[in-house]
Amino acid sequence: MYIQRYFLALCLCLAGFSTTVNAQGPYPIQKTVMAQHGAVVSAHPLASQVGLSILKNGGNAVDAAIAVQLTLAVVFPGAGNIGGGGFMVAHLSKGQNLALDYRECAPGKASRDMYIDSTGKARTDWSQEGHLACGVPGTIAGMFAAHRYGKLPFKDLIQPAIDLAENGFVISANEAESLNENKKSFQQNNTGPIAFVRADRPWKEGDTLVQKELAATLKRIRDNGAKGFYESRTAQYIVEEMQKGGGLISLEDLKQYKAVERPILTFPYKSYTILTMPMPSSGGLLLAQMLKMVENKPAMDSGYASGAATQLMIEAERRAFADRATYMGDPDFVKVPVDALMSAPYLASRMQDFQAGKAGNSKDVKAGVVPHESMETTHFDVIDADGNCVSVTTTLNGWYGCSTVAGKAGFLLNNEMDDFSIKPGVPNMFGAVGGTANAIAPHKRMLSSMTPTIVLKDGKPYLIVGTPGGTTIPTSVFQTIVNITDFHLSPEDAVNKPKFHHQWLPDDVALEKGFSGSTEAALKAMGYTIKHWGGIGRTEVIAIAPDGTLEAVADGRGNDSAAGY
Ligand code: DON
């Protein structure tokens, strides 16, 4: 065993500067790191270490973010990905802002009613599992679009992921358990053997997960650029697997896929400036609506988890999510009245029927009427020594996506099609409902809730923040921000203290384990229906002090880990 591990470490060292990570496990998890020059926080300690080594070797924050995204595709296969998509929000040291959309899109053969069976029933099993659930992957196009802002050659950024896939990395007890739990689903949704299923025995802690086919896929990208994914043997493997399993993605869909740079969504909150993701993520607009609905309201002075502030925030969340269901969708396909939905008079009118001490209800609180205008995942943050900041949320949607590996290409595909509204009023896997704005159409991007965000104070980076969690993403980002800006919690507490969630429908308030019992009693007395949830979000934050000190905080809810120097 030791010889094997020694050999593995040696191979990794010989492969070059970028593979300075120790892939033998157990990996030290660092929850809070104070740093002076640069920091990375992500869902996996190996990915954070890879990001750090890129920063130390002269890469900027965008380079490190690319390397982290690609490493997560290897070491965090439940959500890290090259078979999914995501969003990158960046604030570059020269003042430029970037909102990069590499969200999946519907295949060309997709149609509005493709998940409705002959009896008229909406089939969430089709939209959530297996080949038909899969949208055209956007991640690799996104990484090359981002690379325009990087400094190091792409091959140096992808090499750590190649080495980890080729030589393997040692898995933890949790990772082994998660792979074992999903064995049945992997077997049902694949047409051939895959690296995530062991033929001989269940996975156990200390096993090495080797992904040779994924390594070969990553090498094709290294050697041929984005075409090495979208117009290569990889593309053929994806399409062959689709054809075997009844999926829709074609070679033409892959060839046509484009990542899109969009104008960033920015707005002031108190004395801060928020930079966040525009459509096709609902997350940024929901964040704007929620923050604006609570801004400078006296109830916020009563502090974190107080009955008054919590109720106000719940009602803001309810109203924002009602608007999401009606107005929001891919801006290339529907006109989303963004300015109207975040205008001060509109949001004031939305809160006019708010009654302190009395629960609202989602039967009465519908989407607002806007003036007609001439709407399983992982998150990571990076900052470098020049102050370039990057906030990325990326996803396969469900844990391990649709559970289908792209044949011999060795990577998991997404089940992002479920983020469309497959039938008006039918909830997706996160309970979100929608209508025509988010209906399926060929090449359309499905509405997201992912909210990678950067907060500026006096024009300078102050917080980099984001989280996975489906519809709880915008509410978790909202709460993490006000925990700091309004409730004056430390970044560690802002991340780790229990959160709550309301998304209009279903009309109940989810309280995370450990949330204040007295506030729960107060909310019940006001008329709220309370549900208890184990965990809400896995929020990562980098806070930047006025003197430049970086505080990178990894969420305590998972094995998330920070790194810095
Ligand atoms: O884009 C979205 O909003 C969802 N596909 C995100 C999924 C997610 O966060 C799952 N993780 N817990």
Please report, for the domain that includes residue 453, its CATH number: 3.60.20.40
For position 472, what pLDDT does the model report?
A: 95
H or E element that contains 542: strand 540-544
CA atoms within 13 A on the CB side of 352: 8
Catalytic residue (choose from 71, 273, 326, 377): 377
User: For residue 82, what pLDDT is reported?
Assistant: 98
One domain, residues 229 and 275: no
Is ligand 1 within 6 A of the CB of residue 418?
no
Residues 421, 496: Cα–Cα separation, whole Å: 32
Task: Answer with the residue of higher pLDDT: 400 or 365.
Answer: 400
| Structural domain contains residue 515 | yes
pLDDT of residue 23: 84
Residue 430 included in any domain: no
What confidence tier does 371 reach under pLDDT thresholds 50, 70, 90? low
Regarding whether 552 and 411 lie in a shared domain, the answer is no
Question: What's the gap in Å between 6 CA and the centre of ligand 1?
Answer: 38
Residue 419 pLDDT more than 80? yes
CA of 429 to the centre of ligand 1 (A): 9
What's the 546 CA to ligand 1 centre distance in angstroms? 33
The reply to whether ligand 1 has any atom less than 6 angstroms from the CB of 133 is no
Q: Residue 381 and residue 88: Cα distance in Å, rounded?
A: 10
pLDDT tens profile 467-522 = 999 999 999 999 999 999 999 999 999 999 999 999 999 999 999 999 999 999 99
Give the residue, out of 395, 429, 446, with the most ligand 1 atoms within 8 A of its beta carbon, to mutate for a pocket test.
395
Residues 130 and 184 in one domain: yes
Q: Is the CB of 104 under 6 A from ligand 1?
A: no
| Residues whose CB is less than 8 angstroms from the CB of residue 329 and which lie 6 or more positions away in sequence, other chains included | 279, 280, 336, 375, 434, 437, 438, 439, 444, 447
Give residue-wise pLDDT tens across range 135-177.
999 999 999 999 999 999 999 999 999 999 999 999 999 999 9
Domain for residue 92, yes or no? no
Q: Of 379, 385, 384, 519, which is closest to residue 449 (Cα–Cα)?
A: 379
Answer yes or no: is 440 within a domain.
no
Please list, in sequence order, all residues whose beta carbon lies within 8 angstroms of the beta carbon of residue 56, skipping any fewer than 6 positions away: 38, 565
Q: Tell me the C-alpha distance between 170 and 153, whole Å.
A: 28
Residue 113 has pLDDT above 70, yes or no: yes
Is the pLDDT at 434 greater than 90? The verdict is: no
454 lines ligand 1 (CB under 6 A): no
Residues 83 and 58: beta-carbon distance below 8 Å: no
pLDDT at 12 over 70: no
pLDDT tens-digit readout, 179-224: 999 999 999 999 999 999 999 999 999 999 999 999 999 999 999 9
The whole-model pTM stands at 0.94
Mean pLDDT, rounded, of the chain: 93
Q: Do 158 and 266 fall into the same domain?
A: no
How much is the average pLDDT of 2-11?
A: 34
Ligand 1 atom nearest to CA at 103: 1
**Residue 182 within a domain:** yes
- CB count within 10 Å of CB 427 equals 18
- pLDDT reported for residue 7: 33
- For residues 331 and 280, is the Cβ–Cβ distance under 8 A? yes
**Shortest-distance atom of ligand 1 to CA 468:** 9
| Same domain membership, residue 484 and residue 352 | yes
- Residue 359 phi/psi, 5-degree rounding, is -65, 135
DSSP collapsed to 3 states, 304-329 = CCCHHHHHHHHHHHHHHHHHHHHHCC
Residue whose structure tokens are 């080495």: 163
For the stretch 248-267, pLDDT in tens is 999 999 999 999 999 999 99
C-alpha to C-alpha distance for 105 and 486, rounded to whole angstroms? 38
Q: Which residues have CB under 8 Å from 158's CB, separation 6+?
A: 66, 67, 70, 218, 221, 222
Residue 427 lies in a domain: no
- Do 278 and 160 share a structural domain? no
Kindly give the distance from the C-alpha atom of residue 444 to the centroid of ligand 1, in angstroms, as a whole number: 17
Stretch 401-430: mean pLDDT: 93
Q: Tokens for 174?
A: 């949790």
Q: Are 261 and 145 in contact (CB under 8 A)?
A: yes
* pLDDT value at residue 8: 37
| Ligand 1 centroid – CA 450 distance (Å) | 7
**Domain limits for position 157:** 2-86+101-258+380-422
What pLDDT, on a 0 to 100 scale, did the predictor assign at position 20?
A: 58
pLDDT digits (tens, 9 = 90+) for 337-364: 999 999 999 999 999 999 999 999 998 8
Q: Which of 205, 198, 197 is nearest to 176 (CA)?
A: 205
Which H/E stretch holds residue 223?
Answer: helix 212-224
**414 inside domain:** yes
Q: Is the dihedral of CA 269, 274, 279, 281 positive or negative?
A: negative
In the chain, the number of structural domains is: 2
* Residue 273, phi then psi, degrees to nearest 5: -115, 130
**Residues facing residue 383 across a β-bridge:** 39, 389
CA-closest candidate to residue 157, choices 222, 81, 101: 222
User: Does the annotation mark 451 as catalytic?
Assistant: no
Query: Do 217 and 327 lie in a common domain?
Result: no
425 pLDDT band, cuts 50/70/90, is: confident
Q: How far is the CA of 155 from the centre of ligand 1 (A)?
A: 29
Query: For atom 6 of ligand 1, which residue has the closest CA?
Result: 470
- pLDDT tens-digit series, residues 28-39: 999 999 999 999
Are residues 249 and 344 located together in one domain of the fold? Answer: no
3-state secondary structure of 267: strand
> What are the residue ranges of helices labelled H in 15-60?
45-56
Q: Same domain, yes or no, for 358 and 222?
A: no
pLDDT digits (tens, 9 = 90+) for 228-242: 999 999 999 999 999
| 397 ligand 1 Cβ < 6 A | yes
313 and 220 part of one domain: no
Q: Would you say the CB of residue 448 lies under 6 angstroms from ligand 1?
A: yes
Answer whether 309 contacts ligand 1 (Cβ < 6 A): no
Q: How confident is the model at residue 14 (pLDDT cuts 50, 70, 90)?
A: very low
Q: Are residues 305 and 409 in the same domain?
A: no
- List the residue whose alpha carbon is closest to atom 1 of ligand 1: 448
CA 184 to ligand 1 center in whole angstroms: 22
| Ligand 1 lined by 469 (C-beta under 6 Å) | yes
Task: Judge if 311 and 164 occupy the same domain.
Answer: no
Tell whether ligand 1 has an atom less than 6 A from the beta carbon of residue 451.
Answer: no
Instruction: Give, for ligand 1, the residue of 88, 377, 420, 555 to mutate: max count of ligand atoms closer than 8 Å to Cβ.
Output: 377
Residue 439 lies in a domain: no
